[in-house]
Structure formats: structure tokens, C-alpha cells
Amino acid sequence: MTAPIDTTTLPHNYRPDIDGLRAVAVLSVVIFHAFPDEAWLPGGFVGVDVFFVISGYLISRILFSEIEQRRFSLASFYRRRIRRIFPALAVCLAAVLAYGFVVLMPSQLAQLGKQVFFGAAFLSNFALWRESGYFDSAATSKPLLHLWSLGIEEQFYILWPPLLWIAFKLKAAIGRLIVALLVASFAVNIAVSLTDTSSDFYLPISRFWELLAGAALAWRPDINLKGGLKHVISLAGMAAVLISARLFASEMRFPGWLALLPVAGAVAVILAGSNAVINKAILSNRVAVSIGLISYPLYLWHWPLIAFSYVIRGKPPTLFMAFGIVIASLLLAWATYRFIERPVRLSSNRSRPTHIVAACVAMVGACGLAVWAIGGVPQRFRNSLDLEKLNAATLEAIYAPTNGMTVLEYDSRGHSMVAQIGQGARKVALAGNSMVFHYGPRLQQLADEGRLAVRAYFVTGPACPLVPGVIARDEFANCAKVANRLSELVQREKVQTVVLSPHYWPRKNAFVEREGKSIPLDGGEEGRRAFYANLEDYVRELKLNATVYLVLGAPQSSTGLNPQRMVTRGITGIRADPNVENSVPVADLRTVNAEHDAELRAVAERTGAKILDVFPDVCGNGETCSAFFGARDPKFSDGAHLRPAFVRNHLHFLDFLLM
């Protein structure tokens, strides 16, 4: 996100059309976030890439001018950046953290504190990169998710000015330097996009080429275009930006090659000049320029309002509410610009406000760190035992080895692992996704009691289907290796019993290879048939060496069993849901996996595998399933994963294989 640039150093070169281009960029992002269901601009996220180009252009233009005129000062440059970026950021961070105290559970507030800390340190992109993956919380629960782009810009601002100054001092060829860095960054972007879209999206090295594209444009600002040509370039550039915003989608591999289109479009619009038809007639319009001037605070405010609406409602805002959020964002942005940004910028004594706003951001960041460190201030709920217990449940680890386990293999990229517990002569392998790994505490309990009579192995991967031939082209690409690990383990260790918990994988960017064909697993019937045919072949293969048990789908519910959804939130507070004790009909829970369970039973019948069912242990034998056990303690840590405390003493369906 581009913070306002200090154009006062170059008043005669001010271009209102660039503020208008900012307006196009920020409105694309706001519409993309506020109206996802309407899909008006499914690729509106490319507005950030447009911002990167604008930022690289304006910052570099200032730097080139000051360095060439021998009046450049790093200290002066960073003071200007502080006065531009810090005032609105400090207010937004403080407001978001304060409101989090009102409507968030301690576990959620702790995560918000972490976001505030990394946002104040301009390291949000690194924090989000490290968190990305299957177990990462939904984007809509992160009110400061959008600060990743500000982090990348600030990291560019830290590196680019001193590098440029050194290059001028050494009389280096600046144009060649820019091209070399741009090509290197773009090459990294392409290479990383093929294997790790999360790294490509969040890491600065794969994004700097977009800012350097603007820098390259600023290095040669005197390109003279003929009258007709600049109009064509302006039209083509704006078309490229708008086509990207309209036709791209979030599930695409981005940035990668795709980012070339909006970046080239932004470069073309700026290159065309302020007198080009689009630039003069539309982008220099007073309304567009006004929105462009408040684009930075508008970007800061819009996402927290949207995210908090998701948190409070537990679902997306209605269309009417979304329009209200956009209007509120515009009003907050105008007020921030008018009463916070401008007074700091126009202050006669610029040194004092610089120190004040820097101290404010540091103070808010420290508060976020403190909130994170103490777990989201759980003391707020001392008078509510229900809220304390619900919060405790949400903090439980859902994919972690127990104290007595030994991790034999671990793939950090896919978080898949092979772990072992027990030393018995008989050998049992439990394989599946994270839903299998949360049975581990039961084995640990048996081991602690001296009743675990087997050597048990867990072969798991988050969300991995445990079916050979299934290939993903996203963050789950390494799942393809997990089924092979199980086969190798069974043969190498002479495993006698395999407990397999496969699950169907109707995912975009996932395919199943069958009889020389690569069939999409997007919910179509052909992919489904191929998936279960591969599973049947796999079971037959495993049965050559071991007895195979297939585990039916476990209870799961995004609402009735999920402690994170057992609270009632309002704009002014949070409390335990009065209907929290209502049990969930078992028939409804069974319906979730009904088709999959039928397929597993059919595979078992054809192959001679045996069926295991965890439902009775979790829900009992009645018609309803309670979300609680003991003294009103939640059974689940989320809508699918059971808590270790419950598993240790209540899950017995595997005991006959383990004792």
C-alpha cells in the first residue's frame, strides 16, 4: 500500500493523475474485500501491485532529484517517511487493538497483539509468511492482515535509498543497476511461484521488481511520446489494470507471471503523462484525486472494519452492511487525513511531530507485544467460567506430537511427519491427516499407564488425503509424498496393522493421476471415481503386508461443536452463547461424511479391509452429540479436532489394536 509521498519537494512536477491512479488502485482493493460474494472485482487485489509501481516511481523520482542536486540526506528522507506513514498507522493500530479488547476472545486478542507488534515493526509480511498454511486462521479473522504490503514497501524504503546513494557515489550505471535488480527479483518471483505461492506473495525479494519497475520509469522521466501514442498507451495501461481486476481470481498463482499485466498497466499509465486522454479526463478528475489523497488511510481502515464484521457476525457482512463499511471507511480516511496527517505534515516545527509519531507507533507496538505475551489478557473473563473454558479449548494444539513421541521424519514445508511411540513387538501404523494425529494423546495415555503393547507409528500430513496419485499445485504439494512414506514404512518395519483414515479431496489445483490421465479433483464425478479407485488399489497393496482398517469420517461442525463459535458477540461486547448447551443431532453430523463413508464401506467390502468408527466414542450411542464433557469442558478445540484432555480418557475405539 502506498503511503502519501512528499511531493512538496517537487511542486512543479506534481501530477494529479497519479493520485487518480491511486484512487483506482485503492477502490479495486476495497471492492475486492468488501464484496467478495458479488465478484464484481475478483482480482481487485492487483490494486496493491499498482500501488507498488506508484510508490517505486515517486520515491525514486525524489531520490534521483535530491542525489543529483547533492542535497540528499538519509536522515531527512526517513524523517519525511515517518511523518507520512506513522501518524495514520499509529491511530489505526491503537483503535484496532482497543476494539479487540471489546469483541475478541483472549486467544484471538493475543493474535491481534502479535499483528499489532509486527505491523508497527513493518514486518507483517514475514509474520504472515511464517503463519501461512493449513492451520493458519482465516484471513477474515485478522484485522491487520493488509499491513503485509506496507511492510514490503518499508523494507524497500530501507534498502533502496542507501543503495542508490552508494551507486551514485561510485558513479555506477544506475540504469543497469535498476534493470539488473528488477530482472533478478522477477526471476525469483517466477521461480518461487512454481513451488511456494505463499513465499512468492509475502517475501520482499519476489515483490521488489514491482517497485523497481516504477523506479526504472523515474530514471528516464523525459521520454517524449507523440500525441496519439501517449493516448494509446494510457488507454492500454488502464485497460490492463481493469482487466486484471475483473478477470483475475485469488486462487490463481499470483504474483508469478500474472502480475506483469497490472504492473505493466500501471507503468503505461504513468509513462503516458498527465496530458494523455485517460490521465487528463478521468484520473485528474477532482473526485478521483480526492480519493487518491486519502488512499493510504482508506487502505488502513477498510480491512479492520470488514474483518471485525466477520468476527462479530461469524459470517460475511450483508450487501447493505458492506456498503456501510465502505462509507465508514471513507469517512474515517477523510478524518484521518484532515485531522491527523495534514497537521503533522504542515507543522512548522517538523522535528517534534516526527519524534512524537515515531514514539506513538513504538508504544502501540509495545502494547501489542505485551498483549500477545500474556495471552490476550484472559483476566478479562475471570467472572465467566464458560468463557474461560471456551478460550482454553481454542488454545489447544491440534497437530503436535505428545511428550512420549519421537519424530522420525519431518517435512517443514508441508508439515508432514512420521512419529513413533511405544516399544512393543507388534507394530501398528496410523495414517491420515491431522484428524488422525489428534488420536495421539490416547496412545500417550496408554503408554503412561504401561498398557501400550505395540510400537505405533503416525504417518500424517495436514489435510493430506493419504491416497497415491493425488497431486496438488499449491501449499499442499508435498501431500503426494505421505502415502509413499506409509508404504515404505510398512515394508521396512514389517508393520502388521495399518489404520488408514483417507478423506476425499475436492480441491481446486488438485488432480488425481489414473491410468495415464490427470483428472481434476474439483468435485466432478470422474475425479471422484478415480480417487476411490486409487484408494482401493492402495488398500490392496497395503494388505499384502498388513491388516488394514479404514476409519470412517469423524464428527465435525463449523458451529455446534466449535468453541470459537460458542460465543455471542455484539458491537459492544462478548459473552457465552446462551444456547451453548444445545446438542447437535448425530444424523446431521453423519451427513457431512455420508458419501465418503459409503465409498469407504464399499472399498472395505471389495478388498477385505475392516471398518472403524470413532462416532460412538465422541458422541455416545444416542441421537444427539454434546460438545462438552466433564464439567462443561469443550470436547473440541475447533470444529474438527478433538482436545487432548478428551482424547486421553474417552477415545477407546483403537484400544483393541494397541493393548
The answer to whether the beta carbons of residues 615 and 650 sit under 8 Å apart is: no
Q: CA dist 565 to 38, 211, 307, 459, 468, Å?
A: 25, 41, 16, 31, 35
Q: Residue 427 is placed in which grid cell? A: 507394530
* Mean pLDDT value of segment 92-116: 94
pLDDT at 573: 81
For the cut 50, the answer to whether the pLDDT of residue 434 exceeds it is: yes
Q: Residue 101 is placed in which grid cell? A: 479488547
DSSP letter at 570? E
Residue 246 CB partners (closer than 8 Å, separation 6+): 41, 42, 43
**For strand 517-520 and strand 510-514, is the pairing parallel, antiparallel, or unpaired?**
antiparallel
pLDDT at 135: 53
* Mean pLDDT value of segment 81-87: 94
Query: Given pLDDT bands bounded at 50, 70 and 90, which one contains residue 394?
Result: confident
Specify which of 195-199, 361-365, 398-402 reaches the highest per-range mean pLDDT.
361-365
pLDDT at 478: 83
Query: Given pLDDT bands bounded at 50, 70 and 90, which one contains residue 247?
Result: very high
pLDDT at 379: 79
pLDDT at 576: 76
Provide the greatest CA pair distance for the chain: 86
pLDDT at 133: 59
pLDDT at 144: 96
> If phi over 0 gives left and psi between -120 and 50 gives alpha, with beta otherwise, what is residue 318?
beta
For the cut 80, the answer to whether the pLDDT of residue 285 exceeds it is: yes
Distance (Å, whole) CA 464 – CA 483: 9
Q: Mean pLDDT for the chain?
A: 91
Query: Given pLDDT bands bounded at 50, 70 and 90, which one contains residue 207?
Result: very high
Query: Given pLDDT bands bounded at 50, 70 and 90, which one contains residue 655?
Result: very high
Distance (Å, whole) CA 627 – CA 560: 7
For the whole model, what pTM was predicted?
0.85
- Express each pLDDT in 210-231 by its tens digit: 999 999 999 976 677 887 899 9
Residue 6 CB partners (closer than 8 Å, separation 6+): 62, 80, 83, 84, 345
For the cut 80, the answer to whether the pLDDT of residue 415 exceeds it is: no
pLDDT at 153: 96
Percent of the chain with pLDDT over 70: 96
pLDDT at 647: 95
End-to-end CA, the chain: 58
Burial of 606 (0-12, 13-18, 19+ CB in 10 A): exposed
- Express each pLDDT in 107-165 by its tens digit: 899 999 999 999 999 999 999 998 875 555 678 889 999 999 999 999 999 999 999 99
For 392-658, give the CATH class: alpha beta
pLDDT at 5: 45
Cis peptide before 255 (omega within 30 of 0): yes
For the cut 90, the answer to whether the pLDDT of residue 280 exceeds it is: yes
Domain boundaries, the chain: 7-69+148-342, 392-658
- Express each pLDDT in 551-565 by its tens digit: 999 999 877 888 888
- Express each pLDDT in 296-316 by its tens digit: 999 999 999 999 999 888 888
- Express each pLDDT in 263-274 by its tens digit: 999 999 999 999
pLDDT at 9: 43
pLDDT at 547: 96
For the cut 60, the answer to whether the pLDDT of residue 606 exceeds it is: yes
* Mean pLDDT value of segment 517-542: 92
* Mean pLDDT value of segment 350-371: 93
